[in-house]
Structure 1
Amino acid sequence: MARISYDDQTAAAFKAVREIRRDGLAHWRDAVRRHLGPGPGMTVADIGAGTGAFAAAFADWFGVDVLAVEPSAAMRAWIPARPDIQVFEGHVGDLPLPADSVDGVWLSLVVHHVSDLAAAAREVRRVLRPGAPVLLRQGFSGRVDAVRTFPWEFFPEVARMVTDTCPSVDEVCRAFATAGFRRDALEAVPETLMSPAEFLDQLDAFRRADTNIRRLSEEEFRRGRERLRHATGTEPRTNQLDLLVLR
């Protein structure tokens, strides 16, 4: 499925510095509640679950059971071991889940890693119960300007990589339409991140956690660090990503 792989060092760094703190996700909690209508007894599949931040959040926020599907063994090792979260090896193109088994699918920053979106859509359709939604947290081409987005504003080379790999809303909707999905909602959701000062302090760990930053030359990385040093502030920054809901 993905262009990237996570070793133990990368996964540990991702857990330490890439996960958004729970208190920065309040708007996502509210948006998911509106579109999913979650409640006890429901089961949600978190596909591409990473280190389990959203899996744990969904279980805590809504009292749902979560099936966390993640291709990387190093990332799966960080997903919390608890009764309301089951962890599976797999990816969106080949889900280890029964048909008609989940009340919602969550895909957070996943679809830009997927080479065959139509095949992924068919797998998502297979595991969803009739009428259940798929919720995508994503930056979309034409709706995200990575050059002006924290923290990529300090690393324009990474900003270009991010922008070039983002699919458009229309591309995703067309691919999922082949499996019978239609667009139900699209909204920008704010999320609160770290401050520039915190980012500077954690930059070396962030480099280990982020495969795009790791692709920079030493000179490109040095220039980005200098831009960040001159822009240091102590207030947390807020970005927006889109929530695309398909049914």
Structure 2
Amino acid sequence: MAPTAYDAQAAADYRAAREIPREGLTAWRETIAETAGLRPGMTVLDVGAGTGGFATAFRDWFGVRVLAVEPAAAMRALIPAGDGIEALDGRAEALPVPDASADAAWLGSILHHLTDPAAAARELRRALRPGAPVLIRNTFPGRCERDLRVRFFPETARGIDDYPGLGRVTEVFADAGFGRTVLLRSLPQESAPTLAAYAGRLRRDADSKLRALPDEAYARGLERLRRAAEADPREPATSWMDLLVLA
């Protein structure tokens, strides 16, 4: 899949619509703490950092220094650089960091944007210290049934079928030297306190899956979402994604 182009408005819409509120990421914080061994003073490489939501989370949760690598200038401009976060222009396939300079790498929903996954895996092996983990947060084909978008916009599952499969990802990373699967776990994330609030913050243009839908399919999905919100006004907007940790 080709990289997505972002202008300033698209980047702002992405941050408003797609970044998960920190209070909705408790399960992610706890699981990363259990598996990554991060300590204050360590360096985390955030590859495809977007507008910096997870870069700031890692800094605040673990007291680490974050190298936030993002190729889109409009997205990179919104990363809160300074105070433990350095925003860098670069791609996963050509990381702008020295050899063995990071203690962990974070790839948040970028696998399907990589133009050369094997090159990206090799670059991560070069940039990480020996034994350092790669933490991959992504949706995988066949494991997306609890994604909120798939629940209300089921046609989006067809787009996920084109994403790199779990077996292929682990194979590519094993070839690059990440031969051990430390963890594969599906984790919840709360995008909004209610389904109605989630509907209110949806931005179709900020989501490639929703953007690809025909207008009629998108309208049907919105109606499903609104009906569900009316049926249970207190249901939180909880979605699930996989965390794959390789070392």
Q: Is the 8 A contact 2:52 2:80 kept in 1?
A: yes
Deviation at 1:218, TM superposition (A): 2.6
Aligned to 2:200: 201
Of the candidates 224, 228, 232, which is equivalent to residue 231 of structure 1? Answer: 228
Aligned to 1:122: 122
How far apart, CA to CA, are the structure 2 residues paired with 1:142 and 1:158? 12
* Mean Cα deviation higher: 56-65 or 151-160: 151-160
TM-score normalised by L of structure 2: 0.92
Deviation at 1:220, TM superposition (A): 2.4
Return closer, same or farther for 1:228/1:144 CA change in 2, 3 Å cut-off.
closer
Partner-residue secondary structure (3-state), 2:44? strand
How far apart, CA to CA, are the structure 2 residues paired with 1:101 and 1:208? 36
Are 2:211 and 1:214 aligned?
A: yes
Aligned to 1:159: 157
How far apart, CA to CA, are the structure 1 residues paired with 2:169 and 2:26? 26
* Number of equivalenced pairs: 242
* Mean Cα deviation higher: 34-43 or 119-128: 34-43
Return closer, same or farther for 1:45/1:2 CA change in 2, 3 Å cut-off.
farther
How far apart, CA to CA, are the structure 2 residues paired with 1:196 and 1:213? 17
How far apart, CA to CA, are the structure 1 residues paired with 2:82 and 2:169? 33
* Mean Cα deviation higher: 94-103 or 5-14: 5-14
How far apart, CA to CA, are the structure 1 residues paired with 2:64 and 2:149? 32
* Mean Cα deviation higher: 22-31 or 135-144: 135-144
Deviation at 1:47, TM superposition (A): 0.3
Q: Is the 8 A contact 2:147 2:241 kept in 1?
A: no
Partner-residue secondary structure (3-state), 1:193? strand
| CA RMSD, 1 decimal | 1.6
Segments of structure 2 that go 5 or more residues without pairing to the other structure are none
Are 2:93 and 1:93 aligned?
A: yes
How far apart, CA to CA, are the structure 1 residues paired with 2:27 and 2:209? 27
Return closer, same or farther for 1:225/1:189 CA change in 2, 3 Å cut-off.
closer
Aligned to 1:150: 148
Q: Is the 8 A contact 2:142 2:161 kept in 1?
A: no
How far apart, CA to CA, are the structure 1 residues paired with 2:236 and 2:167? 32
1:27-70, Cα deviation, whole Å (9 max, x unpaired)? 11111111111111100000000110100000001000000000
Supply the AA of the counterpart residue of 2:201: Q
Supply the AA of the counterpart residue of 1:192: E
Aligned to 1:180: 177
Aligned to 1:135: 135
**Identity %, equivalent residues:** 51
How far apart, CA to CA, are the structure 1 residues paired with 2:3 and 2:65? 29
Q: Is the 8 A contact 2:191 2:198 kept in 1?
A: no
Q: Is the 8 A contact 1:76 1:87 kept in 2?
A: yes
Q: Is the 8 A contact 1:198 1:234 kept in 2?
A: no
Deviation at 1:212, TM superposition (A): 2.5
Deviation at 1:238, TM superposition (A): 2.1
Deviation at 1:6, TM superposition (A): 1.5
Partner-residue secondary structure (3-state), 1:122? helix
Supply the AA of the counterpart residue of 2:148: F
TM-score normalised by L of structure 1: 0.92
How far apart, CA to CA, are the structure 2 residues paired with 1:241 and 1:102? 25
Supply the AA of the counterpart residue of 1:217: P
Q: Is the 8 A contact 1:137 1:243 kept in 2?
A: yes
